[in-house]
Amino acid sequence: MNHFEPYLDLLRSSLTKLDGWRNSFDDHNSEDPSEIPSAMAIQKILSELESKLEGNYPFHHPQYAGQMLKPPHPVAWLAYTLAMTINPNNHALDGGPPTSAMEKECIKKLADMIGYREPSLGHLTSTGTIANLEALFVARESHPGKSIAATSNAHYTHRRMCKVLNTDFLEVPVDADGVPDLNFIKNHSDKIGTLVVTMGTTGLGIVEPLQKIKALADEYHFRIHADAAYGGFFKLIGSELASKADWDVLESCDSVVIDPHKHGLQPYGCGSVIYKDPSVGTFFKHDSPYTYFTSDELHLGEISLECSRAGASAAAFWATLELLPLSDTGLGKILLSCTKAAKKFAGLITNQPNWFLYQPPQLDIVGYFKMPEIKNISELNRINREIFQKGMSDKKDGFHLSLFSIPADQFVLKYPDFNPDQSHATILRSVFLKAEHEDFVSQLANRIINT
Sign of torsion, CA 89 94 99 104? positive
Residues 400, 306 share a domain: no
Rounded Cα–Cα distance for residues 98 and 153 (Å): 39
Instruction: Examine the fold and report which residue of 306, 323, 340 is the final residue of a domain before the chain moves on.
Output: 323
Q: Length of the chain, please?
A: 451
Predicted pLDDT at 294: 76
From residue 151, alpha-carbon distances to 7, 139, 140, 165, 210 in Å are 44, 16, 18, 18, 12
Among residues 366, 368, 387, 374, the alpha carbon closest in space to that of 430 is found at 366
Considering the domain boundaries, does residue 256 fall inside one?
yes
Neighbours of 331 (CB within 10 A): 24
Residues 103, 252 share a domain: yes
- The region that residue 203 occupies, defined by phi over 0 for left and psi between -120 and 50 for alpha, beta otherwise, is alpha
Predicted pLDDT at 386: 97
Considering the domain boundaries, does residue 375 fall inside one?
yes
Residues 380, 300 share a domain: no
Q: Please give the tally of structural domains in the chain.
A: 2
Which DSSP string do the residues of 248-300 spell out, in sequence order? Answer: TTGGGSSEEEE-TTTTT-PPS--EEEEES-GGGGGGG----SSSS-S-SSPPG
Considering the domain boundaries, does residue 18 fall inside one?
no
Residue 235 near residue 220, CB atoms below 8 Å: no
Which DSSP string do the residues of 351-406 spell out, in sequence order? Answer: TSTTEEEEE--SSSEEEEEEPPSS-BHHHHHHHHHHHHHHHHH-TTT--B-EEEEE
Considering the domain boundaries, does residue 173 fall inside one?
yes
Residue 315 near residue 294, CB atoms below 8 Å: no
Predicted pLDDT at 395: 82
Report DSSP state, residue 323. Answer: H
Among residues 82, 68, 141, the alpha carbon closest in space to that of 316 is found at 82
Q: Where are the alpha helices (DSSP H) in 24-150?
A: 39-53, 74-84, 97-114, 128-142
Residues 343, 219 share a domain: no
- Return per-residue pLDDT of the chain as tens, 451 residues: 678 888 999 999 999 999 999 889 876 665 666 667 788 899 999 999 999 999 999 999 999 999 999 999 999 999 999 999 999 999 888 889 999 999 999 999 999 999 998 899 999 999 999 999 999 999 999 999 999 999 999 999 999 999 999 999 999 999 999 999 999 999 999 999 999 999 999 999 999 999 999 999 999 999 999 999 999 999 999 999 999 999 999 999 999 999 999 999 999 989 999 999 999 999 988 777 767 677 777 778 888 999 899 999 999 999 999 999 999 999 999 999 999 999 999 999 999 999 999 999 999 999 999 999 999 999 999 999 999 999 999 888 899 999 999 999 999 999 999 999 999 999 999 999 999 999 999 999 999 999 8
**Cα-Cα-Cα-Cα dihedral of 71, 76, 79, 82, to 10°?**
-10
Instruction: Examine the fold and report which residue of 291, 323, 355 is the final residue of a domain before the chain moves on.
Output: 323
Nearest-Å Rg of the Cα atoms of the chain is 24
Considering the domain boundaries, does residue 210 fall inside one?
yes
Considering the domain boundaries, does residue 30 fall inside one?
no
Considering the domain boundaries, does residue 35 fall inside one?
no
Residue 38 makes CB contacts below 8 A (sequence gap 6+) with none
Residues 297, 197 share a domain: yes
Residues 189, 113 share a domain: yes
| b/e per residue 45-72 (b: at least 16 CB within 10 A) | eeeeeeeeeeeeeeeeebbbbbebbbeb
Pairing of strands 169-172, 147-151: parallel
For position 429, which CATH number holds? 3.90.1150.170
Residues 365, 312 share a domain: no
Considering the domain boundaries, does residue 36 fall inside one?
no
Neighbours of 313 (CB within 10 A): 32
pTM given for the model? 0.94
Residues 297, 374 share a domain: no
Rounded Cα–Cα distance for residues 13 and 441 (Å): 38
Predicted pLDDT at 1: 62
Predicted pLDDT at 182: 98
Report DSSP state, residue 445. Answer: H
Rounded Cα–Cα distance for residues 302 and 31 (Å): 35
3-state secondary structure (DSSP) of residue 158: helix
Residues 161, 129 share a domain: yes
| b/e per residue 207-229 (b: at least 16 CB within 10 A) | bbbbbbbbebbeeeebbbbbbbb
Q: Could you tell me the residue range of the domain that residue 424 belongs to?
A: 331-449
Residues 422, 277 share a domain: no
Residues 429, 403 share a domain: yes
> What's the order of all strands across the beta sheet hosting 402-407?
355-359, 365-370, 424-431, 402-407
Strand partners, 405: 426
Residues 337, 318 share a domain: no
Residue 97 makes CB contacts below 8 A (sequence gap 6+) with none
Neighbours of 342 (CB within 10 A): 25
Rounded Cα–Cα distance for residues 266 and 76 (Å): 6
For position 257, which CATH number holds? 3.40.640.10
Instruction: Examine the fold and report which residue of 295, 323, 351 is the final residue of a domain before the chain moves on.
Output: 323
**Cα-Cα-Cα-Cα dihedral of 235, 236, 241, 242, to 10°?**
30
Predicted pLDDT at 298: 75
